[in-house]
Amino acid sequence: MPLQNKLKKQITIALLFFCALCMAQQPYKRTLKLMGSRFDITVVANDSITANKYIDTAVAEISRIEKLISSWDANSQTSEINRNAGIKAVKVDAELFQLIERAIGISKLTDGAFDISYASMDRIWQFDGSMTEMPSEEEIAASVSKVGFKNIILDKEKSTVFLKLEGMKIGFGAIGKGYAADKAKDVLIAKGVPSGIINASGDMNTWGKQPSGKEWKVAITNPMDKNKVFALLPITNGAVVTSGNYEKFVNFNGKRYTHIIDPRTGYPSSGIISVTVFAPKAELADALATSVFVMGIEAGLDRINQLPKIECIIIDDKGNITKSKNIEIDKV
C-alpha cells in the first residue's frame, strides 16, 4: 500500500474514533428549584444541546403538574376544591381526579396513616424551637377534627370532587413531588431519552443504565450523621424515596416527637428517624415512606412485606436498621 494511502487510512480511522468519542453518550445534569424544592434532573445524551432540550421538556412537565396540584396557587383546581369545601362539588381534569382516587386508595391501604386531607390540620406543633410545652389533648383532638379521607367524595361519571366538611382541605405535599418525578420520567422516555434520574428533593426516579452499562446507584444517608452515607443500592428502572425527620423534632418528657404527624390522631410520629422505600413509581414510594413513619416499624414493615415490588429500609432513633424481606444492603 502506498505511504500516502496508508496515511489517509490512519487519519480516517483517527477521525472516526474522534467522532465516536464526540458522539459518546454521557450524563448531563441540571439543578433548579421547582415546586418550592430542589430538583436535580440528569439525562444521558450525545451532546449538551440535546440534553438541555430534554431537561427543558422535563421542567415544563413538572411546572404543569405544579399548576394542577398546588394548593398555594389560587387558580389551581386543587384550590378550587378547597374553596368549595362543604359547599359544592368541583369538576376537575381526569388527571387530578385519578391522582386523588389513587391517594384515597393508599389511605385505605395504610388505614389512614396517609391522608391528603392532612392539609385541614391546625398547625399546633412547631418544630422551630419555639415550643415550650406539649399541646393539650383537647387542642390535639381539635387539630384533626376536619381530617379524614372518607369525607372526600368522588363522582367518577361527573369527574367531580367534594369535600364534605366546611374548612376541609386537601394537599399533595406527601405525594406531589413523587408524582411530578414520575410524569417527568414518562415524557423523557417518550422523547427517546435512554436513561436518566429525576431527583425531587430525595424522591428519586431512574430508568436505563449509566453510559458505562452499570446500574445507577442510590446513596442512603446515615441519619445519625447526615454527612455520611451508610449504603449504596443499585436501581435500574424504578423509584426510591427517603424520608427523614432527624432535623425537625421536639423533646418532651424524655420523648422525641417529629414533624411527621399522624393525621388520625394529631400526634407526631416517634421512634423512627429515616424510612427509605423502593417502588416502581415515586408517587407510591413517597406516600408509603410517610405512612411507615406514622404506622411504626412493626405495622409498617408488615404492610410493606405484603405489597409486590415494594421494599423498605427503616432506621430507628437508636440507629438500628430494619429492612423488608427481599432487600440486600451493601454497606459503605
Number of domains in the chain: 1
102 has pLDDT over 60: yes
Domain assignment present for 249: yes
* Alpha helical stretches, state H, the chain: 3-23, 48-69, 77-83, 94-109, 137-143, 176-190, 282-295, 297-305
What does the pLDDT look like over 73-89, one tens digit per residue?
A: 899 999 999 999 999 99
21 has pLDDT over 50: no
127 has pLDDT over 70: yes
- Give the pLDDT band of residue 97 (cuts 50, 70, 90): very high
Rounded Cα distance between 241 and 287, Å, is 9
Q: What is the pTM of this model?
A: 0.87
pLDDT (0 to 100) of residue 253? 79
Q: Which domain holds residue 184?
A: 39-76+94-149+171-332
- Give the pLDDT band of residue 191 (cuts 50, 70, 90): very high
CATH number at residue 60: 3.10.520.10
Cβ atoms 290, 114 nearer than 8 A: yes
Domain assignment present for 183: yes
Q: Reduce the DSSP state of residue 302 to 3 states and report it.
A: helix
Report the residue count for the chain.
332
Portion of the chain with pLDDT greater than 90, in percent? 65
- Give the pLDDT band of residue 234 (cuts 50, 70, 90): confident
Q: Count of alpha carbons within 13 Å of 122, Cβ hemisphere only?
A: 11
- Give the pLDDT band of residue 325 (cuts 50, 70, 90): confident
Domain assignment present for 157: no
What does the pLDDT look like over 162-182, one tens digit per residue?
A: 999 999 999 998 899 999 999
Domain assignment present for 307: yes
pLDDT (0 to 100) of residue 235? 85
Domain assignment present for 87: no
Domain assignment present for 185: yes
Domain assignment present for 303: yes
The CA-based dihedral angle spanning residues 249, 253, 255, 261, taken in that order and rounded to the nearest 10 degrees: -50
Domain assignment present for 314: yes
Least confident of 1-15, 89-103, 215-229, 305-319: 1-15
Rounded Cα distance between 331 and 179, Å, is 29
Instruction: Enter the DSSP assignment of 247.
Output: S
